[in-house]
Amino acid sequence: MLTEPMSSAPLPCLADLQEPPPSSSGWLPMERAPLPGLDDEEGERLPTSLPPVVDAHVHVFPDRVFEAIWRWFDTHGWPIRYRLPASHVAQFLLSRGVHQIVALHYAHRPGMARSLNQFMAAVCADEPRIIGLATVLPGEADASRILDEAFSMGLQGVKMHCHVQCFAPDDPAMHEVYEACVRADRPLVMHAGREPKSTAYRCDTHALCSADRVARVLEAHPRLRLCVPHLGADEFDAYERLLERHDGLWLDTTMVAAGYFPVELPLRLLRCRPDRVLYGTDFPNLPYAWDREIKRLVTLGLPEEELAALLGQNALRLFAGTPPRGTSTA
């Protein structure tokens, strides 16, 4: 389902603004990994003055997969501050005032997706405030059937990761994944931006990923609803143009709004299509406080309506099709 723009007023997109584009040259290369952990202060819970908050980018994995991922991060990424089992991940955030979370995972090898999707369905069965997404490996046998089974278990979208799963967005093997999403009217969250790259990945993320490739996907699958995490880092200008052109595209703020990587937050991307950007954190795989990103987002001076859309309403429209209870539709 596509949503209407929140206001009929002209939106401040790239072509309308005179300020220079934000620089992407300060992106901290993961070659210098492990990057430092921050000992920043964490809040006890979200302020009650905030509109309903949905964290649209939270990871849950079975314990052994989480432990393998954390070992990878220890060496090649950053120290993980919240080493919580999946059963505690959602409760940590929900007990601190987050209204709902979107839970993501991804398969690293063929043959993993079915059991991961069953695990995710079980996690969601225990807590209705979790919106769980499915995964599959592009090109693995039965890929579209794996997704159909996951949707029938109640999973509400798909998560893919070009870097970890080593595929290009316009890889022909992705066609059946896109078609499965369109057929079932489920959104796809796909890490299709080229950063943060790492030599520890089995593939060159700059060779695989580009906004141009994502544009080809959106053009070939006009009914696909696609969310690209990390505001499409680091091709912020190109993703701004894609947002202007494609009603099937969403972005999430994950880690780019936290001030951890030395890149300027591309504020225009948040404001260009305020109905198209979701708040997300990457919790629990963070090197800083769980609420660092939202603390920064609320100080940007966004209009109240745009902040409510960013922090929760856009995610619920994308994943659940409904605004949070107790709030009016923007």
Which positions lie near Zn ion, rule CB under 5 A?
Answer: 282
CB nearer Zn ion, residue 80 or residue 330 = 80
Minimum CB separation from Zn ion for residue 68, in Å? 15
- DSSP SS3 for 55: strand
Instruction: Output the CA angle 53-328-228, nearest 5 degrees.
Output: 45
Minimum CB separation from Zn ion for residue 76, in Å? 15
CB nearer Zn ion, residue 56 or residue 214 = 56
Minimum CB separation from Zn ion for residue 230, in Å? 8
CB nearer Zn ion, residue 282 or residue 306 = 282
Minimum CB separation from Zn ion for residue 95, in Å? 21
Q: Look at residues 249, 319, 287 and name the one whose alpha carbon lies nearest to residue 55.
A: 319
Instruction: Output the CA angle 123-46-103, nearest 5 degrees.
Output: 20
**Would you say 120 and 142 are in contact if contact means Cβ atoms under 8 Å apart?**
no
Q: Report phi then psi at 145, rounded to 5.
A: -70, -40
CB nearer Zn ion, residue 275 or residue 282 = 282
- Which ranges of 77-209 would DSSP assign to H, the alpha helix? 86-94, 113-126, 143-152, 162-165, 175-184, 205-208
Question: Which residue's CB comes closest to Zn ion?
Answer: 282
User: DSSP string covering 257-273, please?
Assistant: TTT-SSS---HHHHHHS
CB nearer Zn ion, residue 167 or residue 271 = 167
User: What order of strands is seen across the sheet that includes strand 158-161?
Assistant: 158-161, 188-191, 226-228, 249-252, 277-278
Minimum CB separation from Zn ion for residue 254, in Å? 6
Tell me the C-alpha distance between 251 and 321, whole Å. 17
Minimum CB separation from Zn ion for residue 59, in Å? 6
CB nearer Zn ion, residue 170 or residue 282 = 282
Minimum CB separation from Zn ion for residue 11, in Å? 27
Amino acid letter, residue 10: P
CB nearer Zn ion, residue 117 or residue 281 = 281
